[in-house]
Every structure is written in structure tokens, then in C-alpha cells.
Amino acid sequence: MLPLPDGGQVSLDWCPPLAQKPLDNTPTLVCLHGLTGGSHESYIRGLLEVVTRPPFNYRGVVFNARGCGNTELTTPQLFNGAHTDDLRLVLKHIQKQLPEGTPLIGIGYSLGSNILVKYLGEEGDKTPFKAAISVANPFDFVNSSYALDRTYWIRKVYSGTMASNLKRAFSRHTEMLAKNKDMDLDQVNASTTIREFDDACTRKVFGYTTVNNYYRDASSCRFIEHVRVPLLCFNALDDPISPAESIPYDEIRINPYVVLATTDYGGHIGWFEHFRQPTRWIVKPLAEFVVAMFEAHDPRPKGSRLDPDTIDKSVDAIQAQE
């Protein structure tokens, strides 16, 4: 548990557990989850179960945001897509825990990827990350919010589901969040889309005059051209939550630090293969990028380098065990 200066707290899950792998200069992957998520999410566990085992043997740490991952909320504030200060504090804590020079890579999924990219753009070359990965980033919150309201099906299935998840998260911390006098609990509970929830709750908690002003401030498309570490952005063009028209192609094109990889299909953090025992094939290219970046900065004695074919076969073998 990491206490924050304003009285809030977040939690960090280390993988492998510190009792099993004491802190040393093992290259470390810092993971940011999606909306109302946490270290329990299959997309996080699916990558960490691979890169923390042989032949990779890296370390992972998951940053569970305020009120997420069974973390008790201690102030009337959750987290949002624009709020990057908690990540800065988490990184300072991680750096203090690990020996100086330990390589760090950041990976964020969905809302977490937006927070990560916004932070990277704000920090430029001042970030401790050697590289980063953005997966299923919505990039442009205004456009994404309109896309989620565009059809009845998307509004009910996707936006409605996210609103329900947010309301469940809110209900776990109602007593604390109700201390914010600007909050109308009936309006929060009546919200049926993510935009309605953000209007009733998120913008008020963080002092935005309109929900669109919050969305504009949060959109990482405004910051990606200022990223100054290698950044891989991975998006599916059929993603209903992070739509293709929100991808900042022009800003990515002018930034030599950013590589954009898109697939025709994959949905929102999907990219599944196999029918009987589905696994995420995206783990393979993500692991290849992680290995390439860590091998460039690993302070440990140099061993044999892992080529892409070996990485892919290792991912298959580990996923088969699971």
C-alpha cells in the first residue's frame, strides 16, 4: 500500500511476490490497468505470466489506482484519464525500492494507456521509463464518447456496461465519495452511459465545468507528439471503445519515437486466437518489444539474446501450461 500526500492511497502488486524474488536490478515492467480494473485482469496476468518466467525472467509491478484492485478509498477522489500525478508518485516509490539504474518499461491498457501516454508527453525526456507500450488507447476522449453513443447497440452494450462497472465501483466507496458536496448521488446512480457518469461524478470530483472539458484535458492525442522514449501503440481498428478515427495518425507520424501497430480485428483488448482454449496472440509482439527494449538497457551480465522465434515459441509453451 502506498500512501499519497493528499491522504489517498494506491496499491502495488509485485510479480513474482517479493518473498519469492527479492528486490534487485531485474528489469521491471510497470503495468497500468483499464477502467475500474486491477492486477486481477486477464490481459495483465496474461503478459506477466510470460515475461516473469524463463527464459525472460523479468519483474512486473501493477499499479492499482485509487479505489481499484480492492484498494480502500481514503479520500473522496477516484482516478481519471487526465490525472497523471499518482503515476509520478508511484514511479518515484518504485525507483526508491529498486537499485539505481534498474530499467523500467511502462505498459498501459485502455484508460491506463491514455494516462501513460499523457504522462510521457508531459515528461518528455525526464521520465524514468526506458520505453513504453500503449494498448487499446482511446486517445481522443471527446470523439470516443460520441462513438460510444453513436448506435443503440454500442450505447447499451459497451457504454452501458462501462457505466455499470463505474457505478459498482462508486457503490463500494459511496460513503467516502459522498463527502464531496458537489455530488448528486441520485444523478450518479441514474447514469446509463459512461458520458452520463462522467458528467454526474468524474467532472465534479476533479472540478471540471463540463464533461467535454474533462475529455479534452484527458485526451492523450494532445501529448503524444512530445513523447521522447520509444513507444509502441497497439490498436484494433474494430475497437468500439477506442475507435479508429480517434487514433492521432498525424501526431504519431511526426514523432520518430512512436510506432503505431494496428490490426483490422481485435475488439477492445481482445486479439484472441484458438477456440477451445483461447489465448491472446498480442502477448507475442508485446513480449518481443519488451525483450528488445530491456536487452538494450539490462545492467546484468549479458547472456544469449532472445530472437523473435524463440520468444514466440516460449509464449506458446507458457500459455499452454496455463
Q: Rounded to an integer, what distance in angstroms lies between the CA atom of residue 263 and that of residue 41?
A: 22
Catalytic position from the list 33, 268, 298, 314: 268
Report the distance separating Cα 135 and Cα 73, nearest Å. Answer: 27
* C-alpha cell of residue 233: 501503440
- Measure the CA–CA gap between 1 and 64, rounded to whole angstroms: 10
- Alpha-carbon distance 212 to 97, whole Å? 39
Helices 42-51 and 283-297 meet at what angle, rounded to 10? 50
Task: Confirm whether 24 is a catalytic residue.
Answer: no
Q: Which parts of the chain fold into alpha helices (H)? A: 42-51, 85-97, 111-123, 141-148, 152-154, 160-172, 174-177, 185-190, 194-197, 203-205, 211-218, 249-253, 283-297, 308-321
- C-alpha span between 119 and 223 (Å, rounded): 8
Among residues 78, 55, 54, the alpha carbon closest in space to that of 4 is found at 78
Q: Catalytic pick from 39, 239, 246, 298? A: 239
CA distance 86 to 183: 23
Check if 110 is active-site: yes
3-state SS, 199-243, equals HHHHHHHCCCCCHHHHHHHHCHHHCHHHCCCCEEEEEECCCCCCC
Q: 77 and 85 in contact (C-beta within 8 Å)?
A: no
Active-site residue identified among 11, 39, 110, 159: 110
Active-site residue, 268 included: yes
Say if residue 55 is preceded by a cis peptide, omega within 30 of 0.
yes
Are the C-beta atoms of residues 224 and 113 closer than 8 Å to each other?
no
Residues annotated as catalytic are: 110, 239, 268
